[in-house]
Amino acid sequence: MIRDELFERSPIRYFDKVTNGGLQSGELGLLVAKKGLGKTSVLVQFGADTLLQDKQVIHVSFDQLSPNIISWYQDIFSEIAKKKNLNNVAEQVNDLVHKRIILNFNQDNVSLPQVINTVKALAQGGIIASCMVVDGVDLNKISVEDLKAVSDYAKELGMSIWFSATSDAENLESVKNDLQDFFSMIIQLQAKSDVIEVAILKLRDSTVKTSGLKLDSKTLLIAEK
């Protein structure tokens, strides 16, 4: 099937290989980077990979409009297909994106527990997601109680949740100590002289190692260096 081929060619296969299978059910992950390095692209790759497994995705954005997010998904699927030289994938993609829900919020007005309440309402209506990505969150506006509410719900539902946040620090100092424990995985996009590297800052209780991953300069897909 075309979907199976797309899944095998998904850039997340590289990520899974170096992170012991990637983010698991019930876990929270965090992606941090300076503005403009490709955070949304990476979150969309996580979301698209879940769709390729025929599972529901909820994409929450605090800083992008829905049409922009829709375009990101279309572009990511197109680039994966190009790498496999697959044709006529449009119909398959249209079928996949029916399992994606996009929610736009302003973090000044909507807290993370309120986002979870919306997700709970969707679940009660039969839309039960396996993965949620939360793009453009301001870490300074998140309390321990807020993140605990998200973590508890992720464990209850068996949902993996990825966050992205802007930070200028190139180490774990970008995340407050009292928030770090909630994340099973923390990764960072780091701009080097000729490449954007994917650095692993935290990987559960494992020793952090060099990932050997980068973002492709043209497509922003995760790739091996």
Q: DSSP state, 117?
A: H
CA nearest to 61, candidates 149, 166, 122, 133 = 133
Residues 113-150 have pLDDT tens digits of 999 999 999 999 999 999 999 999 999 999 999 999 99
Is residue 88 very low, low, confident or very high in pLDDT (cuts 50, 70, 90)?
A: low
pLDDT at 92 over 90: no
pLDDT of residue 173: 80
Confidence of residue 91 (pLDDT cuts 50, 70, 90): low
> Residue 82: pLDDT band by 50, 70, 90 thresholds?
confident
Q: Which of 34-48, 87-101, 141-155, 189-203 has the lowest mean pLDDT?
A: 87-101
Positive/negative CA dihedral, 168, 173, 179, 185: positive
Q: What is the mean pLDDT of residues 3-19?
A: 90
* Buried/exposed 122-155: b ≥16 CB within 10 Å, e otherwise: bbeeeeebbbbbbbbbebeebeeebbebbbebbe
pLDDT at 87: 63
CB of 62 within 8 A of CB of 136?
Answer: yes
pLDDT of residue 144: 96
**Per-residue confidence (pLDDT) for residue 113, from 0 to 100:** 96
d(CA 7, CA 173): 34
Q: What is the reported pTM? A: 0.94
- The pLDDT value given to residue 94: 74
Measure the CA–CA gap between 214 and 13, rounded to whole angstroms.
Answer: 13
What's CA 184's distance to the chain center, in Å? 13
How far apart CA 148 and CA 224 sit, in angstroms, is 34
Checking if the pLDDT of 85 tops 90, the result is: no
Distance CA 196, CA 160 (A): 25
pLDDT at residue 209, rounded to an integer: 82
For the stretch 61-75, pLDDT in tens is 998 888 899 999 988
Task: Provide the pLDDT confidence category of residue 159 given band limits of 50, 70 and 90.
Answer: very high
Q: Which residues, at least 6 apart from 218, have a Cβ–Cβ distance to it below 8 Å? A: none
> How far is the C-alpha of 58 from the C-alpha of 213, rounded, in Å?
26
